[in-house]
């Protein structure tokens, strides 16, 4: 049964991956819903540009995104330097930076899913609520948000899955530090680089597959339950 026990190296990478991915999804939630709402409901000058900007991480090589993040959010970066001086929080070479890298890479997927479900919402329901005197905020939280909940969940799953597999932007931005930024894909990469690492690499492959599979199945189950609830079945 020895092969069923995770080594400390594997446990560390797995737990770190889960932590980084959960945080990546968490920090994307509010900005993602706002961005999706703007894209679905607003018409403004430069909307196409805004749309492309949000989708950029999906099509750019991840290394490019990682390098941008280093230049922008590093301790000496334009934005990162400012944040560091203001709050003492640094994203360079720690798990927070890894979570940011994953969040940026996963953001377009999340926004897309939420936007699609927002576009499917019957605006007649919102209009009816308004005629009954509900405020905009109240309409959003009592009508729109419950209706798009399945879309948000789908988006979160996609974002979570994308975060679990994030490699290029992470290794470029925050390098490969055990226990800090060495997530499953980075640990796997390290093992493929070591002369006798084949067995470890294969084990990490299997762990990755099992984790991804489990996450997808669980979320599928959840989202089915949720859509039933929304439809009131």
Instruction: List contacts with another protein (CB under 8 A).
Output: 70-71, 74-76, 92-93, 171-172, 175-178, 189-190, 192-195
Q: Report the interhelical angle of 62-73 vs 78-87 (nearest 10°).
A: 50
Centroid of chain to Cα 218: 17
Cβ closest to another protein, residue 65 vs residue 223: 65
For the chain, what's the residue count? 233
Cβ closest to another protein, residue 109 vs residue 171: 171
Q: What is d(CA 229, CA 233) in angstroms, rounded to the nearest whole number?
A: 6
Question: CB count, 10 Å around CB of 47?
Answer: 12
Q: Compute the least distance from the CB of residue 22 to another protein, in Å.
A: 24
Q: Compute the least distance from the CB of residue 34 to another protein, in Å.
A: 31
Q: Compute the least distance from the CB of residue 86 to another protein, in Å.
A: 18
Cβ closest to another protein, residue 65 vs residue 117: 65
Question: CB count, 10 Å around CB of 3?
Answer: 8
Q: Compute the least distance from the CB of residue 189 to another protein, in Å.
A: 8
Q: What is d(CA 65, CA 146) in angstroms, rounded to the nearest whole number?
A: 34
* Spatial contact of 186 and 128, defined as CB atoms under 8 Å apart: no
Q: Compute the least distance from the CB of residue 74 to another protein, in Å.
A: 5
């Amino acid at each position: 049964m020895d092969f069923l026990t995770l080594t400390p190296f594997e446990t560390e990478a797995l737990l770190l991956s889960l932590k980084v991915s959960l945080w990546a999804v968490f920090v994307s939630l509010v900005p993602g819903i706002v961005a999706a709402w703007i894209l679905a409901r607003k018409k403004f000058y430069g909307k196409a540009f805004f749309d492309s900007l949000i989708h950029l991480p999906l099509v750019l090589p991840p290394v490019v995104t990682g390098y941008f993040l280093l230049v922008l959010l590093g301790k000496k970066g334009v934005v990162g330097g400012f944040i560091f001086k203001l709050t003492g929080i640094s994203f360079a070479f720690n798990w927070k930076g890894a979570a940011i890298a994953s969040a940026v890479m996963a953001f377009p997927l999340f926004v897309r899913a939420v936007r699609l479900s927002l576009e499917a919402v019957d605006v007649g329901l919102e209009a009816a609520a308004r005629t009954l005197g509900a405020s905009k905020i109240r309409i959003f939280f009592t009508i729109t948000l419950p209706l798009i909940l399945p879309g948000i969940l789908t988006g979160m799953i996609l974002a979570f899955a994308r975060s679990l597999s994030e490699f290029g932007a992470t290794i470029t931005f925050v390098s490969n530090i055990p226990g800090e930024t060495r997530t499953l894909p980075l640990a796997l990469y390290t093992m493929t680089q070591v002369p006798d690492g084949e067995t470890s690499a294969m084990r990490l492959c299997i762990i990755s597959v099992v984790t991804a599979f489990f996450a997808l199945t669980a979320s599928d189950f959840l989202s089915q339950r949720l859509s039933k609830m929304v439809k009131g079945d």
